[in-house]
Each structure stands twice: as structure tokens, then as C-alpha cells.
């Protein structure tokens, strides 16, 4: 074995040059592509002062857009979480014909452009669409209203939770559930006390991704919402509108709100993860103490 001048043999691809170049490159790209634009958003949002920022946020249309975005997320995320859980469960715990097809169907929204999804909904629920006339007769408005926005958002984010769960649940297999059932647990009990605790971090991650995407979805929602200011404009659509109206500071202020919403979800995820990870390490540290207590009669 040949040793480098420093005395330690270097592992494959681990020479100082390679290491330093890689780290610099990644840091640089991360800063330029991700961090810098975020900083710009907040700088621009407050460029006309805190007062202007507050005024933009207080503006009724902006407030409405924020509310609408949150409402859509509150509906779409739980529904897609339930769907993702059900789909992952079905795919990993049961054998049935069409299983592979189901996996492909779940993946479709990942590969289809959201605009296409929006247009498709237009053809299904629009006045000239398949269900359009029937819906109009029943006085149910799907398009250019909340239901359409929720549906389009759900289409786009359908794979997020399932995609996080399927590989994990596949790796875990059916042993744990079988063990719980053989010990006498009901299906419901098994799910709550055995399955869910073992997939919770993947589930949480899926929910966070799903939420971020629902709040940020532009293309599909833009087609089905009709961009009615103060009525069907979600935050991303409102940002674009403000920008085209040359209200740059307003656009950046709204964008900063959307960014904050996303950051809140990520921070929430990190906090929850810490708490979860804490349980195990706490127990292992505290084990000797508990043990001593347990030995007392």
C-alpha cells in the first residue's frame, strides 16, 4: 500500500484536492441557487420599509389570498395524507392484481406538467366538459372556485406521502403487523400502535413536502381558478398578479409570506423530529437509573 506524504494512505477519491473542490462547489451552488434568492426576497419585501410591508399584507386581496392558500392546504394535505397511507398500505401489505399499475398511477402526477393537469380538469368539470352540464344543472361550481383549486392541488401532490412511505414499508415487511396480530391485536390497534409509530418520520416528511407543494402550486391552480382577484387567487397566483401590476415590493412581500409559510413547515418538522429522536436517547441515558428504581421491591 502506498502512503501519501502526510503518512496516511488516502482512500479512493478522497484526496484533499477532490474533497476541497467538491465542498466548495456544493457550497457555492447552494448559496447562489438557493440562499441568495431567498435573501433577496426578504430584502426587497422590506425595501420600502416595514410600513409598506405591513400595508401590502393588510391589503384585502392579499389577506384573502393567504387565507385561501391556507384553507386549500388544510383540505388537500389531510386528504392526500390519508390517500398516501392507504395506497402505501395497499401496495406493501397486500397482493392483488393491478398492484404495479397502481404504483404507476400514483407516480403519474410527478411526471405530468401541472398545467396539463389543470387543463384536464377543465375538460372534465368545465361547462363544455364531461360532467360540466350536469354540475351546472345541480348548481355545483367546481371550476373557478375552491373545489377546483383543491382538486387540482390534490392531483399535483397525490404522490408525495405514498412515495415516502412505500419504500420504507416495503423494507419493513409484514413481520411487525403479523407479530402484533398473532399476539391478539385488532387491525385498528395494530395500525395505531405498531405500523404508525414505525413510519411516522417518513409520513411527516411526506406531509411536509405535500404541504409545501400545495401552498406553492401555480400551474394547475392557475388554469382552474380563473385568477379572480380576492376570490380565487391563491398566494402564488397573487404574487404573479402583483408582479405584473408593477407592484414589486408588494409581490416580494407576498412572496416572503409564502416563504415564511414554507419555513414554518420545515421548522415544525425539524422540531418534531428532535422530539422523536430525543425519546430514544433519553431512555438509553436514563436506563441505569430506571433500572435501579425497578429493582426496589
Where does this chain bind other proteins (CB under 8 A)?
A: 175-176, 178-186, 189, 193-194, 197-198, 280, 283-284, 286-287, 290-291, 294-295
Q: How near is the Cβ of 160 to other proteins at its closest, in Å?
A: 24
For residues 80 and 115, the answer to whether their CB atoms sit within 8 Å is no
For residues 216 and 76, the answer to whether their CB atoms sit within 8 Å is no
User: 145 or 176, CB closer to other proteins?
Assistant: 176
Q: How near is the Cβ of 173 to other proteins at its closest, in Å?
A: 9
Which residue is associated with the grid cell 440562499? Answer: 35
Query: Please, what is the end-to-end C-alpha distance for the chain in angstroms?
Result: 61
Q: Compute φ and ψ for 228, nearest 5 degrees.
A: -85, 115
For residues 239 and 218, the answer to whether their CB atoms sit within 8 Å is no
Q: Give the span between the Cα atoms of 205 and 201, in whole angstroms.
A: 6
User: Cα dihedral sign for 159, 73, 267, 34?
Assistant: positive
Q: Give the span between the Cα atoms of 295 and 7, in whole angstroms.
A: 52
User: 35 or 277, CB closer to other proteins?
Assistant: 277
User: Cα dihedral sign for 235, 240, 245, 251?
Assistant: positive
Q: How near is the Cβ of 235 to other proteins at its closest, in Å?
A: 37
For residues 77 and 211, the answer to whether their CB atoms sit within 8 Å is yes
User: 180 or 242, CB closer to other proteins?
Assistant: 180
Q: How near is the Cβ of 89 to other proteins at its closest, in Å?
A: 18
Q: How near is the Cβ of 98 to other proteins at its closest, in Å?
A: 15
User: 140 or 287, CB closer to other proteins?
Assistant: 287
User: 179 or 264, CB closer to other proteins?
Assistant: 179
User: 50 or 291, CB closer to other proteins?
Assistant: 291
Q: How near is the Cβ of 186 to other proteins at its closest, in Å?
A: 7
Within the chain, strands assigned E span none
Amino acid at each position: 500500500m502506498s502512503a501519501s506524504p502526510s503518512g496516511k494512505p488516502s482512500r479512493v477519491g478522497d484526496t484533499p484536492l477532490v474533497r476541497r473542490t467538491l465542498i466548495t462547489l456544493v457550497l457555492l451552488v447552494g448559496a447562489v441557487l438557493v440562499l441568495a434568492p431567498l435573501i433577496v426576497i426578504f430584502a426587497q419585501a422590506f425595501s420600502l420599509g416595514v410600513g409598506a410591508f405591513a400595508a401590502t399584507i393588510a391589503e384585502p386581496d392579499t389577506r384573502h389570498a393567504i387565507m385561501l392558500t391556507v384553507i386549500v392546504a388544510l383540505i388537500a394535505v389531510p386528504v392526500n395524507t390519508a390517500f398516501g397511507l392507504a395506497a402505501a398500505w395497499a401496495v406493501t401489505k397486500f397482493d392483488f392484481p393491478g398492484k404495479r399499475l397502481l404504483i404507476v398511477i400514483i407516480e403519474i402526477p410527478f411526471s405530468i406538467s401541472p398545467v396539463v393537469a389543470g387543463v384536464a380538469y377543465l375538460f372534465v368539470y368545465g361547462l363544455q366538459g364531461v360532467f360540466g352540464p350536469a354540475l351546472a344543472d345541480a348548481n355545483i361550481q367546481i371550476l373557478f372556485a375552491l373545489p377546483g383549486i383543491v382538486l387540482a392541488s390534490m392531483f399535483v401532490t397525490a404522490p408525495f406521502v405514498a412515495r415516502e412511505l412505500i419504500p420504507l414499508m416495503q423494507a419493513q415487511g409484514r413481520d411487525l403487523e403479523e407479530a402484533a396480530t398473532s399476539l391478539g391485536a385488532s387491525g385498528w390497534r395494530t395500525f395505531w400502535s405498531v405500523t404508525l409509530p414505525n413510519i411516522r418520520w417518513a409520513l411527516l416528511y411526506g406531509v411536509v413536502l405535500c404541504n409545501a407543494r400545495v401552498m406553492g402550486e401555480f400551474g394547475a391552480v392557475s388554469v382552474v381558478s380563473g385568477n379572480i382577484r380576492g376570490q380565487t387567487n391563491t398566494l402564488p397566483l397573487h404574487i404573479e398578479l402583483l408582479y405584473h401590476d408593477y407592484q414589486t415590493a408588494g409581490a416580494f412581500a407576498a412572496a416572503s409570506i409564502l416563504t415564511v409559510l414554507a419555513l414554518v413547515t420545515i421548522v415544525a418538522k425539524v422540531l418534531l423530529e428532535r422530539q422523536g429522536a430525543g425519546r430514544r436517547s433519553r431512555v438509553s441515558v436514563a436506563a441505569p437509573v430506571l433500572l435501579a428504581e425497578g429493582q426496589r421491591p
